[in-house]
A and B are shown apart, each in its own frame.
Chain A
Amino acid sequence: MHELSVCQGLLKQVSQIAAEHKATAIDKIHLQIGPLSGVEPTLLQAAFPIASKNTLAEQAEMLIQPMPIRVRCKTCYSESETTLNDLTCTACGDWQTELISGDELLIERVEMQTVQ
């Protein structure tokens, strides 16, 4: 699955952030993942020990905050929480909505050990 390559990309970015801060190790990586990002959190967790080997993040903990799917209706302007495969407005039933949350694939916060 593609979670391993997503994880490798993540580690490159996190390692770069660690280098900018002259960190000696990365403790925690906080992520936000929405179901519509196409990335499965459990598979990403499973890929992490493999991808992080021999990096500053080898001992790091990956914490994933699942994000809700929320849409805003273009007709009645209501905001509603919906399911993965039905993004229609729960207030008026119109399908023409825009996603306001649920496709996140973000690094939210990195905690690392620094000397100073």
Chain B
Amino acid sequence: MCDSCGCNVTPGNQHLIANNGKLAKVGKHTTAVNILQDLLSENNHQAGHNRQHFDKYQVLAINLMSSPGAGKTALLEATIEALKSRYAIAVIEGDLETENDAERIRAKGVTAIQITTGTACHLDAHMLHDALHQLDLSSLDLVFIENVGNLVCPASFDLGHHRNVVLLSIPEGDDKPAKYPVMFRAANTVLFSKSDLLPVMDEFNPAQAERYLRQLANAAPVISLSAKTGLGMSSWLGWLQQEIEAHRERLQNGRSTRPAIQPDGVRFHPVSQDASNRIGHHHPHY
């Protein structure tokens, strides 16, 4: 949601600004201002700035979200192994306290920047910006952001990336999209990870999990995979390559893209009117 194009004005609140504008003097010493500003506009502004950094160097940024232990790092290890000869990849790791995940990624021969979040439950656009200063984007094609393992908080924060990938591992159960609708609504693609366990965990019904996802009006592709056995990995790698190509094509046409986290209202606005979606809006970099 942005504050520049009016996409946050919904049928439920438009009456507030329809009549006599924003400012209303209510008393001799009191002033009331009607605004309709996103509570996260500071974060969103920073996110837009981060996206410009990625776009300037034609880097596709993918935010990986899941509960702890769903296999984000294992997926990254297998993905890097498969794609590192074709694409220059780096990983930004959000983790509580340890550098374990970053070390696993570095062992694969790619750069990993660790954001140690302490007790924070999510990454935000400011944390990502600090990490970006440690990365040479000009030499990269693809950046993965491994968010803090949590199916609640990370869903609300735009980091300046382009796509959200949400992992749901088989042992977690097929009802997770129904239990965490904010997270699964934000997914551009959903991966059923640890799918090699399906034969022994038949209580997870992939069709049911997908139905729950569709009930959130989310048409995102679903891929069952296992980083351990390689099952389904080719579909995932195919999706990634398609996204990299599509992003390059968009950038050539002077456009960028935002993750599914944006409310539907944004989509009703043509790109040309949406300032934060445009490339070439530069501001000083501190």
Contact = CB atoms under 8 A, between A and B. Distances in A.
Interface of A: 1-2, 5-6, 9-10, 12-13, 17, 21, 23, 27, 31-32, 36-39, 67-68, 70-71, 84-88, 95-101, 103-115
Interface stretch (B161-169, B176-184, B244-252): B176-184
A106 B36 contact: yes
Contacts of B264: 98-100
Interface string B191-229: 000000000000000000000101111010000000000
B124 interface: yes
A80 B120 CA distance: 37
B15 to A, nearest CB: 11
A67 B12 contact: yes
A108 B29 contact: no
A111 B157 CA distance: 27
B178 A9 contact: no
Contact of B37 (A13, A86, A97, A99): A13
B18 interface: no
Contact of B179 (A85, A86, A88, A98): A85
A38 B153 contact: yes
Given A106-B37, A111-B26, A95 B214 contact: yes
B217 A98 contact: yes
Interface of B: 1, 8, 10-13, 16, 26, 29-43, 120-122, 124, 152-153, 155-157, 177-179, 181-183, 185, 212, 214-217, 219, 263-264
Contacts of A101: 10-12
Contact of B35 (A36, A97, A108): A108
A112 B37 contact: no
Contacts of A104: 8, 10, 12-13
Nearest to A67: B12
Contact of A105 (B30, B33, B35, B38): B38
Nearest to A33: B39
Contact of B39 (A9, A86, A99, A109): A9
A30 B229 CA distance: 53
B201 to A, nearest CB: 23
Contact of A21 (B12, B33, B120): B33
Nearest to B43: A9
A109 B8 CA distance: 14
Contact of B42 (A13, A17, A39, A103): A13
B258 to A, nearest CB: 14
Contact of A71 (B36, B43, B153, B217): B217
A112 B30 contact: yes
